[in-house]
Amino acid sequence: MNKCIITLINLFLLFPLAIVYAQEEQGPFSKEIDSLYREDQFYVGITYNLISDKPIGVSLRGLSGGVHFGYLRDMPINKKRNVAIAVGAGLSFDTYGQNLFIGERENEETIFTVLDDGIDFDRNRLTTYTIEAPVEFRWRSSTAETYKFWRVYAGFRVGYIYYYKTTFRQSDNDVFQTDIPEFDALRTSATLSFGYNTVNFYVSYSINPFFKNATTTDGQDVTIRTIKLGLLFYIL
């Protein structure tokens, strides 16, 4: 998983930069002014994933990040075409390294246990694969003649986790879970991206928690929401 994420990050970092470079290298005679232009139809991004609303003692450990990409249909709603609404579809691959062990008893009851510093382990991770439907309300300082402009895009995403897996590894013990009854696969999040030209900062906060009706072995409620911080690249 580490090598896969690193490879995807490298590809997504290089691809938008190459597109922008190619656009900016076009000479003045090759540009065609489009009065009905649209902006930012594709997006790729990388994030560092934080967790909130967690049981006492739970913290991030190890790799925690995500790779995101998709398509948005830009629909300007004013004459200047600098205010728009966009809807689309995308995919998100996320991993959360932390110290909340998720296992299963013989009767298939889920176990949630906070791993303290006295327990030695190599990896404890939740990995998710999500299909998303992003919606954005957009403001930008763009015109039909320029590729460089300020932007502020606010919105939300509705997603469904079509596959997830928890991985716990010790030197002589591996535990994997792909069916957790308390896990909520339906995801909703509020999003904000802002920046200038190719560099855009991105923030996402999950509205609903990962788990429902879950408690740790010491009686704490398990909910857990995510906060994603990173960079988003928009491409025509």
Residue 185 lies in a domain: yes
Taking only the tens place, the pLDDT of each residue in 74-130 is 999 998 899 999 999 999 999 999 999 999 988 889 999 999 888 888 899 999 999
Residue 28 lies in a domain: no
What values do phi and psi take at 58, rounded to 5? -85, 135
Residue 148 lies in a domain: yes
Over range 55-82, report the average pLDDT.
Answer: 93
What the block records as the tokens of 8 is: 């995807």
Lowest mean pLDDT among 17-31, 59-73, 105-119: 17-31
Nearest-angstrom CA–CA distance, 125 and 49: 12
Residue 23 lies in a domain: no
Residue 175 lies in a domain: yes
Residue 25 lies in a domain: no
Looking at residue 35, what is its pLDDT? 67
Total structural domains in the chain? 1
What the block records as the tokens of 227 is: 């906060």
* Structure letter (DSSP) for residue 211: B
Residue 30 lies in a domain: no
Over range 153-173, report the average pLDDT.
Answer: 95
Looking at residue 28, what is its pLDDT? 47
What percent of the chain is modeled with pLDDT above 70? 85
The answer, yes or no, to whether residue 155 has pLDDT greater than 80, is: yes
Domain that holds residue 225: 2-16+37-235
Q: Is this prediction's pTM over 0.85?
A: no
Over range 59-71, report the average pLDDT.
Answer: 94
Looking at residue 60, what is its pLDDT? 93
Query: What end-to-end distance do the CA atoms of the chain give, in Å?
Result: 30
Nearest-angstrom CA–CA distance, 166 and 163: 11
Over range 139-153, report the average pLDDT.
Answer: 88
